[in-house]
Amino acid sequence: MRLLVTGGAGFIGANFVHQSVTSRPDVHVTVLDKLTYAGNRASLDQVADRIEFVHGDIADTALVDRLVGGVDAVVHFAAESHNDNSLADPWPFVQTNIVGTYSLLQAVRRHQVRYHHISTDEVYGDLELDDPKAFDESTPYNPSSPYSASKASSDMLVRAWVRSFGVRATISNCSNNYGPRQHVEKFIPRQITNLIDGIRPRLYGTGHQVRDWIHVDDHNSAVWEILERGRIGQTYLIGADGERDNKSVVEMILEAFGRAPDDFDHVTDRPGHDLRYAIDSSLLRTELGWEPRYRDFRTGLEATIDWYRENESWWRPRKAATESAYAAAGEKVL
């Protein structure tokens, strides 16, 4: 199988490429990535001689048409992915997440190529802390941030291209990922690298917000199941029953560093901050038989901490600029 992976130099895409080339020798991967601030060629160093890398933009219709014409399937990870950035400047989110997806959809339509669209649980908005229900495939869309609204828009384009043009597409909406190679702007890597640097972890607002954590390798194994056996036109939610509040996650990271559980700062809250996400992944599990491998969050988190300790050269060049951007956006210790 010849596969085009967009955003393959980003966090989830790079881990997907690693998983694909190591466990599926029959797959030939071409990565298309713009190498924005979030993309990192070094994330693909270990597999560089087994893939083709194309430096380019998913909104470049001529380039995308040429690349899509040479593959059997597209897995579309590329996006502007950080909520805080979407509050500071929404435009790249509209351009890449909506216009970029449009460009890919037109190409897969023209070449009749199988397409899998990577999306997020954030399209469903948020839940109350005591709501007994979790998001499932029938939950109405209700995005809160420019990021989640742009992802919701892209999902709607995919649905329309399936129905109107017969594009062979599937969609997955996954919960919060953790694991190696995640940018230091994101919650877990930010706190780990802060602690390595002797900075106290930074919790937005109360820290009572809940995220449903899944290891990136479990997300990617689900993507493969859907790509190979998913029903065309179907949306699948991906989650691993990993609900935890942010404060507990910070406490667990502090414990792994041998620090006191209250050795963190509360900082300015995110405007419009979603309270809770929770995923019901029954459809994926019953229909496709998928199960997560990382069932113990603490073990996965400790392995992730080890990865950041052992790969400082990977994240160090991005750390100072990331912290400066948070400071410039007005983040203050409360």
- Indicate which residues carry an active-site annotation: 121-122, 147
292 binds, among ligand TDX, ligand NAD, none (CB under 5 to 8 A by kind): none
235 is a contact residue toward ligand TDX (CB under 6 A): no
Q: What does each C-alpha distance from 173 to 130, 151, 176 come to in angstroms?
A: 22, 10, 10
> Which of residues 34, 109, 186, 276 is near ligand TDX by CB under 6 A?
186
Q: How far is the CB of 260 from ligand NAD (least distance, A)?
A: 28
Helix (H) or strand (E) holding 328: helix 312-328
Beta partners for 266? 203
122 is a contact residue toward ligand TDX (CB under 6 A): yes
Q: By rule CB under 6 A, what count of residues binds ligand NAD? A: 31
Helix (H) or strand (E) holding 323: helix 312-328
> Which of residues 4, 18, 21, 39 is near ligand NAD by CB under 6 A?
39
| Angle (nearest 5°) at CA 206 between 204 and 208 | 100
DSSP state at residue 279: B
> Which of residues 34, 202, 219, 276 is near ligand TDX by CB under 6 A?
202
d(CA 11, CA 17): 10
141 is a contact residue toward ligand TDX (CB under 6 A): no
d(CA 184, CA 41): 16
Indicate if the alpha-carbon torsion angle 171, 290, 284, 175 is positive or negative. Answer: negative
221 binds, among ligand NAD, ligand TDX, none (CB under 5 to 8 A by kind): none
Burial environment of residue 103 by CB neighbours within 10 A (0 to 12, 13 to 18, 19 or more): buried
Q: At what angle do helices 312-328 and 187-196 cross, to 10 degrees?
A: 110
As a whole number of Å, the end-to-end CA separation of the chain is: 53
Nearer to ligand NAD, 78 or 267 (CB): 78
204 binds, among ligand NAD, ligand TDX, none (CB under 5 to 8 A by kind): ligand TDX
d(CA 317, CA 315): 6
CB atoms closer than 10 angstroms to residue 206: 13
187 is a contact residue toward ligand TDX (CB under 6 A): yes
Which range touches ligand NAD (CB under 6 A), out of 3-11, 199-207, 271-279, 287-295?
3-11
Q: What does each C-alpha distance from 300 to 179, 180, 306 come to in angstroms?
A: 7, 10, 10
Question: Which residue number is nearest to ligand NAD in terms of Cβ?
Answer: 10
43 is a contact residue toward ligand TDX (CB under 6 A): no
Q: How far is the CB of 238 from ligand NAD (least distance, A)?
A: 8
DSSP string, 249-309: HHHHHHHHTT--TT--EEE-PPTT---B--B--HHHHHHH----S---HHHHHHHHHHHHH
Which range touches ligand NAD (CB under 6 A), out of 44-52, 75-83, 242-250, 314-322?
75-83
Give me the 204-223 binding string for ligand TDX, x by CB under 6 A, dash otherwise. Answer: x----x-x------------
C-alpha torsion 159→96→315→238, nearest 10: -10
Map the footprint of ligand NAD across residues 166-185, applying CB under 6 A. Answer: 174, 176-177, 183
Q: What are phi and psi of 275, to 5 degrees?
A: -80, -50
315 is a contact residue toward ligand TDX (CB under 6 A): no
Nearer to ligand TDX, 51 or 297 (CB): 297
Nearer to ligand TDX, 116 or 211 (CB): 211
For ligand TDX, the binding residues (CB under 6 A) are 81-83, 120, 122, 176, 186-187, 190, 202-204, 209, 211, 246, 270
For ligand NAD, the binding residues (CB under 6 A) are 6-7, 9-13, 32-36, 38-39, 57-59, 77-81, 96, 100, 118, 120, 151, 174, 176-177, 183
